Chain A
Amino acid sequence: METKQILDTIQMISEEKLDIRTITMGISLFDCIDSDGEKARQKIYEKLTTSAKDLVKVADQIESEYGIPIVNKRISVTPISMIAAACHDDNYVAYAQTMQRAAETLGVDLIGGFSALVQKGYQSGDRTLIASIPEALSETSRVCGSVNVGSTRAGINMDAVKQMGQVVKDLAAIDPVSCMSLVVFANAVEDNPFMAGAFHGVGEADKVINVGISGPGVVKRALEKVRGQSIDIVSETIKKTAFKVTRMGQFVGNVAAKRLNVPFGIVDLSLAPTPSQGDSVAEILEEIGLESVGAPGTTAALALLNDAVKKGGVMACEHVGGLSGAFIPVSEDSGMIRAVEHSNLNLEKLEAMTAVCSVGLDMVAVAGDTPAETISGMIADEAAIGVINNKTTAVRVIPATGKKVGERIDFGGIFGYAPVMPVNPNSPAKMIARGGRIPAPIHSFKN
């Protein structure tokens, strides 16, 4: 019996907050399409509640038997814009309500896929879906939505960028907290298990199990043991730790897929922070040697972390997918919140960091009176970083209605809070008003 290894594993789970962040079942809804919206929604409800009926039970069993916390049980579905397009409803809020009802019946935390992919242009369902987002997401608590506005192959749809700035504002006007359920993507991935951006891609199997892992605390603890040593050792230490964490994801995903009789898709090798102490990506960067996240050197430290996590994890599992890397949401990371509150981290530095992290500007609160065009400008900048660098980027921004810079917006419970950050006051309105499409970059022509 290898007692040291057993104790190490138990310590990773109990003290360093290693967990399976999510088991997400992807479910295709293509066989639910109907020209009658009511019938389509009935089919969707039935397919979801049948396909995922054992998801929560199996996750709870695994948690109990293996002693590993499984924090979220989630579902992702085919983008609703594609499913609803065949009906002639003038808004799709009822589809979101059906998703909510199915999620409540199943006991899953969140359901993603109230989504549209418009990177190159709009199809008939896309306009209706996007117009329905403010009402759909504010009237439901478990439904998540996303819109992909750009890709390296297609360029950036600036009409969609313009519209999404307004949609974010409209949603915030009803309920700013609902903005955490909406992501605007470039290069969105089809097998992402993390919310709010998960949807079930059209090239996926009918049903699939994807697993998202986490464990910033484990990486930080490992780095504490190599203080003062060269940066090569830092990289090696992160790789070895990521390997162990990913092995657990692969193992749990295999067990879950087998028990649910659904193919196992991918492990998303992510370091996803939570607001609890010791579960922070910012603290890893500080452990590498920064006085505070935001200091010069932050982007390099994050690039090293993101790359080493991927390298360590890639050999540990059969299929890697999703977003895979380090997440840098502000409100979900106590170290990031602290840096913003002490003016050590501003939006411009955060944007630079998104060029080397796994996603983008995430859970960032801005003043409630920030104009829609400014939010569109932020979306366009993030999309440009993603499109040019061949990576996924996203914006999940919260205009804190009625609040100003320096105040804070509370999301309640485990979702923490976000300090309202200052945005450059100069307007991009004339550029955003132009509309059209930014052409795909030259390096996208690979055929």
Chain B
Amino acid sequence: MKAVITVIGHDQIGIVAKVSQLLATLKVNITDISQTLMSGDFTMMLMGEWDDAVVDFEKVKQGLSDLGTETGLDIHIQRQELFDAIQKL
């Protein structure tokens, strides 16, 4: 399964480390990553890929959501096909 993970919030030390550490634990491979500061907010986007027969979507979503609560960041995950459907012919 492929999904887009977005992380938005106040910049702080170790965001990339925490998110990628969690994804590694969940057996999610990061295939693309982009990070910037937009009007003071830390904004990171990751493309994750994993075998959903091993780890289901809900488990990854829950893990990211818990990390979001813990770090005060807004973390979302959405399956990638939605973006292709809306933005590409």
Contact = CB atoms under 8 A, between A and B. Distances in A.
B78 interface: yes
Contact of A65 (B6, B78, B83, B87): B78
Interface string A48-91: 00000000000000001111100000000000000000000000
B69 to A, nearest CB: 17
Contacts of B45: 1, 3, 6-7
Contact of A247 (B33, B57, B85): B85
A32 interface: no
Contacts of B43: 7
Contacts of B85: 247-248, 250-251
Nearest to B82: A66
B66 interface: no
Interface residues of A, number: 20
A2 interface: yes
B32 A1 contact: yes
A64 B61 contact: yes
Q: Which of A2, A5, A8, A65 has the most CB of B within 10 A?
A: A65
Interface residues of B, number: 21
Q: Which of B57, B79, B82, B86 has the most CB of A within 10 A?
A: B86
A244 B34 contact: no
Nearest to B34: A3
B79 A9 contact: no
Contacts of B87: 2, 5, 8-9, 244
Interface of B: 4, 6, 32-34, 43, 45, 47, 57-58, 61, 76-79, 81-83, 85-87
20 contacts: A1-B32, A1-B33, A1-B47, A2-B83, A2-B87, A3-B45, A5-B83, A5-B87, A6-B4, A9-B83, A10-B76, A64-B57, A64-B58, A66-B78, A66-B81, A66-B82, A67-B77, A247-B86, A250-B85, A251-B85
Given A9-B86, A65-B78, A66-B78, 10 more contacts: A2-B87, A7-B45, A10-B76, A64-B57, A64-B58, A64-B61, A65-B57, A65-B79, A67-B77, A67-B78
Interface of A: 1-3, 5-10, 12, 64-68, 244, 247-248, 250-251
